[in-house]
Amino acid sequence: MRRPFASVLALAAAAAAIPLASPVPAAADGVVIGGYPVEISQSPWTVALSSRDRFGGTRVGQFCGGVLVGPSTVLTAAHCLSADVLGAPPQKVRDLRVIAGRGDLLSNDGKEIAVRDTWVNPDYDSHTNAGDFGVLTLATPLPESSVIRMAPSGDPAYGQGTAAVVYGWGDTTGAGDYARSLRAADVKVLPDANCEQAYPGSADGTYEAASMLCAGQLEGGRDSCQGDSGGPLVAQGRLIGLVSWGSGCGWAGSPGVYTRVSDVIRTLAAKR
C-alpha cells in the first residue's frame, strides 16, 4: 500500500515519466489498485496536494491527496507534511497548493489554492503510524457544497462489512504507474482483528484500533497505493478514513490501514 517514508525520488521519477525498473514505493503513499475512473463532480471534496518545486510539473506536482471537511479546511496524512516528503517544514514550502475541482490533473479545471496555514498532529507517531493526520487551512474558501461530513464515533459507517470507496491519483499497479485522472476503488471495512494480525508490529508500523481503521479485501486486489496518502475513505456518504499506510498495494492478507476519522474529530475537539 502506501509507505510513509519511502524515497521522495521515486515519486519525482514517476512525475518526470522516468520508467521504474521495479516496483518502488513513492514519497507519500497510495494509488488506487483495482479501481476505476471517477468524475470529480462525484467527489468534490477529494483534493490533490501539489508542489511543483518539489515534485516537478509533469503531474502538476501532485504528491498526496486530501479531503475538504470545511470551506477552508483540508485533512491529509501527517506524513504527507513531513520534511522527509516535502524537503522542509510545510510552512516553508512556498508553492504548496491544494488543487480542487480537477479530476484530470493536466486539465485547467478547478482551482489551485494557496495554503495559509498548516497544522500537524503533535501526537503523530512515525514508528507506529498512529495519529497520522494534519490540517491545511486554505487562503481562499471553497463552496460549502464541496464539503464532506466527518463520521463521529459510533456512526454505523464504521461497521464491519460496510461498503466503502477510496479515492486518489496514486499508483494503479504498485509499479509506479501513476494516474493522471482521479480513480476510486470499492473496498469494505474489515474487522480490526484482520489488521492486528497483519500488522502486529514491524518496520511498517503497528495497527492500533483506537486511531486506525482496517479496510480493503482480504484476498487483495483493491487498495490504495503510493500517491494516495491523505485521500478519503468514504462510507454511507461520510468520511471515515484517510489513506495512511500498509504493506504493498493490493496484496492478499495485507489490508489498507486508514487514519480513523472519529479519532481525528476527538483530537481536534481536545485541541480547541
Q: Which residues are catalytic?
A: 79, 132, 229
Give the C-alpha separation, 128 to 104, whole Å.
Answer: 34
DSSP output for 157-220: GGSTT-EEEEEESSBSSSSS-B-SB-EEEEEEE--HHHHHHH-SSSSS----TTTEEEEE-TT-
Q: In the chain, what is the straight-line distance between the N-terminal and C-terminal CA atoms, in Å?
A: 33
Give the C-alpha separation, 271 to 231, whole Å.
Answer: 23
Q: Are 38 and 167 in contact (CB under 8 A)?
A: yes
Measured in whole angstroms, how far is the alpha carbon of residue 232 from the centre of its chain? 6
265: buried, middle or exposed (CB in 10 Å: 19+, 13-18, 0-12)? middle
Write phi, then psi, for 189 (nearest 5 degrees).
Answer: -70, 125
> What is the per-residue burial (b if ≥16 Cβ within 10 Å, else e) of 161-192?
ebebbbbbbbbbebbbebbeebbbbebbbbeb
Looking at the chain, list the stretches that DSSP marks H as alpha helix, in order from N- to C-terminal side. 8-15, 52-55, 83-86, 192-198, 261-271
Output the CA–CA distances (angstroms, integers) from residue 185 to 20, 76, 126, 181, 238, in the order listed.
24, 19, 26, 13, 16
Write phi, then psi, for 79 (nearest 5 degrees).
Answer: -70, -20
